[in-house]
Amino acid sequence: MCRDVLRWLLALPGLRVPQDCAQPGERLVGAQERVAHSLFGDIPLVRNYYHQPAEGRGRFPLDEALGLIDGYTPGVASLIGRCAAEHPFHHAEESFRAYTGLTVDARQFPRLAKHIGPLAERFLRANRPSGEKRPPRVYVATDGTGAPLRHEELKGRKGRQPDGTAQTHEIKVGAIFTQHPVTGQKPWRDLDSNTYVATTQRAQPFGQMMRSEFCRRFPNPPVEVAFLGDGAAWNWELQRVFFPMALGIVDFYHAAEHVSGVVDLVEDRHTPSGRKRRRRWVKLLLRGRLDVFLDEARKAFPPDKTEAGAKALDYFEKNRARMRYRYFRDQGYFIGSGVVEAACKTVVAQRLKGSGMHWSEQGLSHILSIRTALLSRRYDAFWRSHPTLRSAA
């Protein structure tokens, strides 16, 4: 019944459509038939088409007035984008049918994602204040993960395979979340305080995106800002450039893995004495006794491992100020980057690293934009904010 009402309204004689007249350089081609796909079913339309010969393009004023995206109303397009970002495309078709009772061919999901993704990315990067209250402590956490690209897009790329080639494209992932620390209690992340940034671009533009998201949420800087990351140099260069006010903290569990590497230069860490040595050195690190650990390690290296040992310990020397774990724990800081590591799984892996998947870099970007909007709880706001994407049937 709703479909029939819409069909009747759009077929009324004398229906006024904004911009339904020839603009300079345009010519009226005439009335064209089309089907608009709505939540209530398909609606046949007859609308004027205007062609601009000099620029080789045209427009349908009625389509623009209705906000149609490739023939779909915003209400349908929004659900298609959501399903495309949450499920493999062939499963998205089944889920969409179960949710709406409508049938959309699986090939339409990547097509609509191609339209929606860039618009969602533009919305996410716009400086729209969140309006949230200024929290006492904010965390910025960054990491990277890989996603499989099509073979033709990997040609010539350097990677970590034994032959120097690449199988994946690195995706930079960031999470920003807040904390209200309570003296004497373990650190707890504020509920639903996470927002995410994910991109196929390099560290510099990624850092700019992270800073933009931080400023969008907190135009008045919080009292305390902490930056969490592993020992990779790009993380700390990103902090230096974009978050110089932040307290840097190396993820403790990455640091503990490096302790294991140091133990292996002395003895096999899987032997009883090796396990005992590792436990002691990890505890020293956790308790803020880095110098004791470094001194014991230097004395324990065999003569033929002195050079390799000095190189392994250089990781701890470079990150000395970021490994004050006793102080961090006493002040109620998180010392693990579990939030952003989980983001690598939820934002990227769950959707983009399925069995047999191979993406174009552009396709990766489209899905990432929609997923970050969804997981940051901004997807509905995106549809409400865009003038041609307002929520409608």
> Residues 52-96: pLDDT tens digits?
998 888 999 988 888 888 889 999 999 999 999 999 998 999 999
Q: In what order do the strands lie in the sheet with 168-179?
A: 195-199, 168-179, 137-148, 224-229, 247-250
| Residue (of 35, 103, 114, 117) closest to 68 by Cα position | 35
Evaluate if residue 174 carries a pLDDT over 80. yes
Query: pTM of whole model > 0.85?
Result: yes
Q: Looking up tokens 């020992």, which residue turns up? A: 231
Mean pLDDT, rounded, for 163-183: 90
Mean pLDDT, rounded, for 321-329: 96
Residue 121 to residue 102: CA distance in whole angstroms: 27
Residue 270 to residues 119, 284, 300: CA-CA distances in angstroms? Answer: 52, 19, 17
> Are 266 and 297 in contact, with CB atoms under 8 Å apart?
yes
DSSP conformation letters of 1-51: -HHHHHHHHHT-TT---TT-SPPTT-EEEEEEEEEEEETTEEEEEEEEEEE
pLDDT of residue 70: 87
Mean pLDDT, rounded, for 188-196: 95
φ and ψ of 258, to 5 deg: -70, -30
- Pairing state between β 41-52 and 137-148: unpaired
Residue 293 to residue 301: CA distance in whole angstroms: 12
Evaluate if residue 128 carries a pLDDT over 90. no
Cα angle vertex 223, ends 222, 224, to 5°? 90
DSSP conformation letters of 214-246: HHHH-SS--SEEEEEE-S-HHHHHHHHHH-TTS
Which residues are registered as beta bridge partners of 138?
A: 178, 225
Mean pLDDT, rounded, for 248-270: 95
Residue extents of the structural domains in the chain: 2-66, 253-322
Per-residue exposure over 266-277, b if at least 16 CB sit within 10 Å of its own CB, e if not: beebeeeebeeb
Evaluate if residue 312 carries a pLDDT over 90. yes
**pLDDT tens-digit series, residues 195-244:** 999 999 999 999 999 999 999 999 988 889 999 998 889 999 999 999 99
For residue 386, name the pLDDT band (cuts at 50, 70, 90): low
Residue 305: CA atoms inside 13 Å, Cβ hemisphere, count? Answer: 16
> Are 274 and 263 in contact, with CB atoms under 8 Å apart?
yes
For CA atoms 312, 318, 320, 323, the dihedral sign is negative
pLDDT of residue 390: 47
Which residues are registered as beta bridge partners of 49?
A: 30
Residue 292: CA atoms inside 13 Å, Cβ hemisphere, count? Answer: 10
Strands of 62-162, DSSP E: 137-148
Residue 56 to residue 280: CA distance in whole angstroms: 72
For residue 334, name the pLDDT band (cuts at 50, 70, 90): very high
